[in-house]
Structure 1
Amino acid sequence: MTTSQRALIFDMDGTIVDNMAFHTKSWLEFFQRRGHVIDPDAFFLDTAGRQGHEIMRSYLGDDVDHVTLNAEKEALYRELYAPHLATVPGFDALIAKAAAAGVKLVVGTAAPNENIVFTLDGLDLRSKFDAIVGAGDVARGKPNPDVFLAGAAKVGVLPADCIVFEDAPLGVEAARRAGMRAVVLTTTLPASAFAQFDNVICIAADFAELDLDALFASTPAMATPI
């Protein structure tokens, strides 16, 4: 491991793809089938970045078949989102520039493997990444830093030389706990939702607004919304 190596670590849902509204719809439908009425905004803030089994335990308790229920929920999500599958504007250009500069590319997601296959293979992106870490690879979801630290370790890059791309507060907190800078995309929440985080270096609507060299030169003290 050398400090000259750098990495970009991408959350997947809501970051590589603008799909969180479809995840929320699938969760609302899932819980409605079981007689639970969920407030969408509060649910997102409480759960985005957490693993499915963690969400199930929070809302349904320990005495249910989390594996079967999570499979049902994720299948519903994929059915809803499949016609809309696309990367966020500017993503493909940014990772092409990063790869050309020798920057390592990592996915760090709370998604199960079925959703990783659905998204990355559906968009023919898997080969673009040097490492992919999902829910099945770590014990704890965000805001714990496990997924980002595992991703950095896989590509041999120090946390201080990694930049995490996120759309959710729990993900930004996970990056903070990992000792990593974060770029926020406002695909899901406004910039004001991230005001408390001291590791955010940039807030943007999409990847087209970002400059790779400027991001690596940035420190949290320089963070400003674009």
Structure 2
Amino acid sequence: MTDAPSTAVLFDIDGTLVDSNYAHVDAWWRAFRVTGQSVDAWRIHRLIGMDASRLLDELVPDMSDEDRDTAKQYQAAYFAEHMPRLRLLPGARELLEAVASRGHAVVLATSAPENELVRLRELLDAEQWISVVTSGEDVEEAKPAPDIVQVALDRAGVEPGNAVMIGDAMWDVETSVKVGVVCISVMTGGVGGDELRNAGAAAVYDDAAAVLADIDDGPIGALGR
């Protein structure tokens, strides 16, 4: 019986491994219209990856509880329409394999709901390399609250100083900083490199393929040294 890894790489999925952020934008935009709200798509995009309740607080603070629930339900339904068309981002699956081959635990640290997570895992087709998975059912509040990263670390049995997080959003960086985990950012979610660095990202890459190309010389390569 082999010992469990003492190091881990935590992966956000939406916008990091799977090209889904703009599908989320479209789903929210359409959901707001159902409830009589007009919210510009760029404002929605700025908050993708944030906890849904916080997103609603930011974009439509005066919305009634009933309309908030309606918006969430329609967003989920509209995003489900996109799921058959989602695709992996460049290097996503190869990066998971490379991380596992170097002896690190591969952790999917996402707060996606279970029904979406099933589709995302099918796309990744990487179960043989994945050690730990989280979902929205594991926490009461998603990013930028630190809960999901802490749950991921606890399940992996890894200390914050022995982990690296990879994400595409400001919220991934903020969450990691709160917990004490080094964060690598990719720009496949549509957020600029300067913003991600200013938020505290230790390194910024175009996409997962670029992280893979630098895997031994970047923050992942420093794990366990």
**TM bucket by the smaller chain?**
0.7 to 0.9
Equivalent of 2:215 in 212, 217, 222: 212
In 2, Cα distance between equivalents of 1:174 and 1:32: 31
By how many angstroms is 1:110 displaced? 2.5
- SS of 2:97 mapped into structure 1: helix
1:151-162 maps to which residues of 2 (within 5 A)? 151-162=152-163
State the match for 2:99 in structure 1: 98
Residues 51 and 112 from structure 1, CA distance in 2 versus in 1: closer, same or farther, beyond 3 angstroms?
farther
**Stretch deviating more after TM superposition (188-197 or 170-179):** 188-197
In 2, Cα distance between equivalents of 1:81 and 1:97: 26
Preserved contact between residue 193 and residue 204 of structure 2 (Cα < 8 Å) = yes
TM superposition score normalised by structure 2: 0.85
Residues 151 and 62 from structure 1, CA distance in 2 versus in 1: closer, same or farther, beyond 3 angstroms?
farther
In 2, Cα distance between equivalents of 1:72 and 1:17: 21
- SS of 2:16 mapped into structure 1: coil
1:41-190 maps to which residues of 2 (within 5 A)? 41-45=42-46, 47-56=47-56, 59=60, 61=63, 63-64=65-66, 69-83=71-85, 85-187=86-188, 188-190=190-192
In 2, Cα distance between equivalents of 1:185 and 1:65: 34
Preserved contact between residue 186 and residue 206 of structure 1 (Cα < 8 Å) = yes
- SS of 2:106 mapped into structure 1: strand
- SS of 1:174 mapped into structure 2: helix
By how many angstroms is 1:161 displaced? 1.1
Residues 74 and 10 from structure 1, CA distance in 2 versus in 1: closer, same or farther, beyond 3 angstroms?
same
Residues 20 and 135 from structure 1, CA distance in 2 versus in 1: closer, same or farther, beyond 3 angstroms?
same
Corresponding letter in the other structure for 1:191: G
Unaligned 5+ segments in structure 2 are: none
Preserved contact between residue 53 and residue 67 of structure 1 (Cα < 8 Å) = no
Preserved contact between residue 201 and residue 218 of structure 1 (Cα < 8 Å) = no
CA offsets 1:145-181 (integer angstroms, 9 cap, x no match): 1111110110111111111111111121011111011
In 1, Cα distance between equivalents of 2:222 and 2:7: 14
In 1, Cα distance between equivalents of 2:82 and 2:96: 27
CA offsets 1:98-136 (integer angstroms, 9 cap, x no match): 112221011111211111112112443345321111111
Unaligned 5+ segments in structure 1 are: 220-226
Preserved contact between residue 50 and residue 110 of structure 1 (Cα < 8 Å) = no
Corresponding letter in the other structure for 2:162: D
Preserved contact between residue 32 and residue 39 of structure 2 (Cα < 8 Å) = yes
- SS of 1:163 mapped into structure 2: strand
In 2, Cα distance between equivalents of 1:48 and 1:74: 14
Number of residue pairs aligned between Structure 1 and Structure 2 = 215
Preserved contact between residue 88 and residue 123 of structure 2 (Cα < 8 Å) = no
In 1, Cα distance between equivalents of 2:34 and 2:73: 15
Q: Percent identity over the alignment?
A: 24
In 2, Cα distance between equivalents of 1:196 and 1:16: 22
CA offsets 1:63-88 (integer angstroms, 9 cap, x no match): 227666433312211212422x2221
Corresponding letter in the other structure for 1:213: D
